[in-house]
Every structure is written in C-alpha cells, then in structure tokens.
Structure 1
Amino acid sequence: MADRILVPYDGSPQATDALEFAFETFPDATVIALYVIEVPDGRWAQIVGPELQIPVTERAQEYAADILEPATEIATEHGRSLETDVVTGEPDHRIVAQAEEESVDLIVIGSHGQKGVSRVLLGSVAEKVVRRSPIPVLVVR
C-alpha cells in the first residue's frame, strides 16, 4: 500500500483522472500534486540539473497556482487534503527527482498531457517517467 503518492498535474483531463484515481484507490495516502514549469532545452538545461531550481517570474508562479487550484478543489470534493508543489525544469526529470526528494512510494501519472504530439500512445512525459523512475509508476488511461 502506498502511503505517499506524487501526481504530476498539468490541468489536463488525463492528469485530473490520475488525481481522482489516486484519491479513490488510496484513501489513506498523502497525495502531492506537482506542477512543473517547463524550462526549454538549451543552455539552462545544461547548467541546471534536475535537483536545481532556476528563478521563475511571478507570472509563471501565478499560472502554476491557477493550474493547481482545480486539483485542490478535486481534493475537497473527495474530502481529502492535498499538498501541492511547483518546480522548474524538464518535466520527466523533475517528476522523478521530486518523487525521490519527497520519499513517495508511488507516482500516479496520466497517460498523456496537454501537448498535441505527445497524445500519441502513452505520451512522451509519461513514457520517460516510466523508464527513468526507480519508484513504481502507475499510468492512468
């Protein structure tokens, strides 16, 4: 049984399904919703490792808070509390790193997120998380 669960949350229907699945399937677990402010590949990706954070604008932080607000509402609907966290970087790297930092037992991730091309099959972020994570990953379709 998982005591601590990380749910990457980007506001997509698939992320919402993953969050609801976590609440329904693991009623006693602590659930953490994680939003990753994506940093484009390039210089920052070379300088900043998965464990480091680069500064982001207040506008980006507000956007992240707006994305996570429905997640908090979903928690309330399920009579649950929800921890939220916002990090920056490449989503797949940051999800795995955050799962390790938070000492979670399980990552529950939607099969794909908002990006059009990533909607094919499993989704690029979900696929990379499954391949990279030393922690069990449950993919919700």
Structure 2
Amino acid sequence: MGYQKILVALDRSSHSEIVLEEAIALAKPNGAQLMIFHRLEVNDPDPYGYSDLHASNIARYSQIMQERLESELDHIRSWLDSCVRRAADQNITADWNWKMGDTGRCICQMAKDFGTDLIVVGRRGHQGVIEALLGSVSNFVVHRAPCSVLIVQSRESGI
C-alpha cells in the first residue's frame, strides 16, 4: 500500500529543503498528491516600541501590523509557489496552504482536513532543556496525528 496524500510541513529553514525533497521522493513512486503546509509566523509584535499604546497611535500601529502581515504573506505565497513548482517538475500534483496558530495543532488539523495518509515533518534536533522550553513540533505531531508520520532528522543535530 502506497501513500496517496502526503502533507509536508515546512518552516522556511534550510532544513526544509531536505524535508521537501524527502516528501517528493516518497510521492513520486506512489503517484501521491502533496499538500505543502506552512504555519505563518509574524515576528516582532511591537516593531516601533508601542508598548504603551495610546488612542492616538492605535490606528497607526494596526496599519503597520497589517502592512507587515501582507508583506509576509506575499513572501510566503511566492515561496510556497516555488515549492509547488519543484514538485510539478517531478510530475507530482501539489498544492499549498498556510495557517496561523500553534504549529503542531495546525499540522494535525490540516492532515485531517486533507485526508492525509502520511505527514512529513522535520526535526531540528533540540534536546534537553531547550526542547523542554521550546517544545517539539515533531513530538506533538507524532503523538496526535491522524496518520503515519515521517520525521526527517536535521543533519546538524549531531545525533
């Protein structure tokens, strides 16, 4: 039994290139469809030091954040389109989607919505206290996914 619908979760790190290549390699012999997924993260919620907002600058702050979000979405769409083209170059049907929210939960929900039979996700190799503090998306997904999960280990992890 081969995989028919593969969800590949990418985070724009250099390791994501390896994760995408692994998903493409799995999809190709099975004729599987890929769903390329990214969890949108907008950094620096206080870019201009508006820690104490007053009524006079709330509108400006909102406008700045909206502009940042739109700019980030433009970059994400372009990047995801390039990922889809890489799959298409290998004759693999692929689409993309993004969400905002908790990464692990978003991946698991997308897997349910897409009818995924395999999730491909990377692991950066954090260990000990760092992993405890930051959490582990791959660990969350393994324990809560509605399907099989392939974790592509980072080569920098030293494991």
Could you tell me the TM-score, scaled by structure 1's length?
0.73
Match of 1:29 among 29, 32, 37: 32
Cα offset for 1:33? 0.3
Residue segments in structure 2 that go unaligned for 5+ positions in a row? 44-65, 154-159
Identity of aligned residues (%): 26
Q: Deviations over 1:71-113 (max 9, x none)?
A: 124214423332111111111110000100111111011123x
Q: Map of 1:50-69 to 2, 5 A cutoff?
A: 57-69=69-81
| Counterpart secondary structure, 1:26 | helix
Residue identity in the other structure for 1:34? F
Work out whether 1:88 is the aligned partner of 2:100: yes
Cα offset for 1:4? 0.3
Residue identity in the other structure for 2:24? F
2:10 corresponds to which residue?
Answer: 9
1:104 corresponds to which residue?
Answer: 116
Name which one, 1 or 2, has greater alpha-carbon Rg.
Answer: 2
| Counterpart secondary structure, 1:100 | helix
1:45 corresponds to which residue?
Answer: none
Could you tell me the TM-score, scaled by structure 2's length?
0.65
Residue segments in structure 1 that go unaligned for 5+ positions in a row? 41-54, 113-118
| Counterpart secondary structure, 2:141 | helix
Q: Give 1 or 2: higher helix fraction.
A: 2
